[in-house]
Amino acid sequence: MLDDAFWAIHSDLPREGPGDNASTARALDLMTDLPRAPAILDIACGPGMQTLELARRSGGHLTAIDLHMPFLAEAARRARAAGVPDRVRFVRASMTALPFADGAFDALWCEGALYMMGFAEGLQAWKRLLKPGGYVAVTEPVLFQPPEETPPEVLAGWAEYPAVTTVAGILARATWARYWVVDHFPLPPSAWWHDYYGPIEAKLPALRAAHGADRAYARRIAEAEDEVDLYRRYSHAFGYLFVVLRLA
Ligand SMILES: C[S@@+](CC[C@H](N)C(=O)[O-])C[C@H]1O[C@@H](n2cnc3c(N)ncnc32)[C@H](O)[C@@H]1O
């Protein structure tokens, strides 16, 4: 259950997971057969950094979904500020029950959230939403060595996603789910720090000063510090892989 302390840490951040506009643009550029104004579904959009980059660069129509209303409101505010509000619509929905017609989209996008459903499970469940020849772009947690050569601290850090695997493992699952692998690349470490872990670290001292005596806050602050520290120490061992796929 996510509490006030969690949302205090996870609010007013540029984005809600690792990523950057350069990587979003690079993945979009790999979709060389998109129509001129593609229909793109951004799943678990958070505050919408990648949604807006896709709207700006694709010239298409974005549908962006998330469960958390404050993120949808912030993303809509940013869309107005960016001057693209009429090409982006925001819908409160769960990634596990997407309320759209079969074949409604040219591309599905999901940065930093598919692991909550499971990579292969989500790819299979979402496939019906794609037009023939449609694309999928997702970022997926990745181990840079096999699990047996991965530091135990990293595996413990991903205990909630025991399916976390290597590049080869991710690509094998995509093929198993009957997609072509167009290409893949790891997010650079800067994409973890600049708009995500850096801003989180910057807000922790003030939250501790204001709420540190509250046990729920103290626990959430410690969890956030541990998560950031894990990446600082082991960015050579794990990361996120951007994977671009196409319907086989
Ligand atoms: C790690 S964040 C990534 C957000 C965004 N893509 C980004 O990179 O900034 C995960 C997002 O998933 C959303 N989320 C969690 N469970 C969800 C669900 N079942 N359906 C839709 N969104 C969900 C959260 O509200 C959050 O915005």
pLDDT in tens, 102-132: 999 999 999 999 999 999 999 999 999 999 9
Q: Token digits for 165?
A: 């695997």
Q: Domain limits at 89?
A: 18-148+161-188+236-247
The proportion of the chain whose per-residue pLDDT surpasses 90, expressed as a percent, equals: 96
Confirm whether 205 is domain-assigned: no
Distance 43 CA to ligand 1 centre (A): 8
pLDDT digits 0-9 by tens, 31-60: 999 999 999 999 999 999 999 999 999 999
User: b/e map of 152-179 (b: 16 or more CB within 10 Å)?
Assistant: eebbebbeeeeebbbbebbbebbeebeb
* pTM of the predicted model as reported, rounded to 2 decimal places: 0.97
For residue 110, being part of any structural domain is answered with: yes
Residue at 9 is within a domain: no
Q: Which atom of ligand 1 is nearest to the CA of 46?
A: 27
| H or E, element range at 125 | helix 119-126
Nearest residue (by CA) to ligand 1, atom 4, is: 46
Q: Which of 68, 72, 92 is nearest to 80 (CA)?
A: 72
Question: Residue 134 is part of a domain; what is its CATH number?
Answer: 3.40.50.150
Q: Which of 7, 15, 21, 45 to mutate to test the pocket of ligand 1 (most atoms within 8 A of CB)?
A: 45
Residue 65 falls inside a structural domain: yes
Question: From ligand 1's centre to the CA of 113, what distance in Å?
Answer: 5
Cα(71)–Cα(44) distance, rounded to whole angstroms? 10
Per residue in 139-194, pLDDT (tens digit) is 999 999 999 999 999 999 999 999 999 999 999 999 999 999 999 999 999 999 99
Residue 224 lies in a domain: no
The number of domains in the chain is 1
| 206 within some domain | no
Pocket test for ligand 1, best of 116, 117, 200, 242 (most atoms within 8 A of CB): 116
In a domain, 199, yes or no: no
Q: Are 53 and 75 in contact (CB under 8 A)?
A: no
- Would residue 7 count as lying in a domain? no
CA distance 186 to 184: 7
Burial of 47 by CB count in 10 Å (0-12 exposed, 13-18 middle, 19+ buried)?
Answer: buried
